[in-house]
Amino acid sequence: MMKTTLFVLLASVATASATPDTTKPAPPAETAKPACKAKGKILFEIDRLVSDKTTSKTRVYDTGAWTIDAFTDDGKPASSGHGCFDKDELAKIRADVKSSPWKVTHNKIHCMAISANTTVYFANGKKVFTARLCNSDALDDKSAKNVEDLEALLKAPKPDAAGDVH
């Protein structure tokens, strides 16, 4: 009885392994991330400066790649980070950059405090706004909201009320 059961079990295993698998392999899972190389057209860039020296550059590329590079006081690379936005995030960034009017209004009246810190924003390679403490220039509401959303997506450090970057 034991030999018969073992023979039947082995025969079943042999038959199962000899039977060709007619099921199709699952197609590779579609990834939500675009081809992600940090090169080519830059959709959006944020440069942080202290006394006209760049302390960090944050870039979003048309490929969906993002980079954040920090620099020492003497301009040497200090640290960096990079990654890829998924297709939905990249679509939002593209829409925000495209829909922003980037209209700058010069205010005649503003405070006169001065800070060495500035933040320069670029859209599609073009400088669109420079933020600074007691800025005499103001960005239109829609563009300012889109910049806020973009900075949140990038988790880029934002200047506080005194213009200091954290």
Domain ranges of the chain: 42-154
| Whether residue 155 has pLDDT greater than 90 | no
Residues 60 and 45 sit within 8 Å (Cβ to Cβ): yes
> What pairs with residue 118 in β-bridges?
49, 132
State mean pLDDT over 137-159.
Answer: 84
Nearest to 150 by CA among 78, 90, 107, 103: 90
Specify the pTM. 0.70
Measured distance CA(6)–CA(134) in Å, rounded: 87
Measured distance CA(79)–CA(70) in Å, rounded: 5
Nearest to 153 by CA among 26, 68, 70, 71: 68
What are the distances in angstroms from CA 98 to CA 43, 91, 113, 120?
Answer: 9, 10, 33, 18
pLDDT at res. 10: 32
The angle formed by the CA atoms of residues 29, 31 and 36, to the nearest 5 degrees, is 145
Measured distance CA(147)–CA(42) in Å, rounded: 15
Q: Answer with the residue of higher pLDDT: 62 or 16.
A: 62
pLDDT at res. 55: 95
State mean pLDDT over 101-123.
Answer: 91
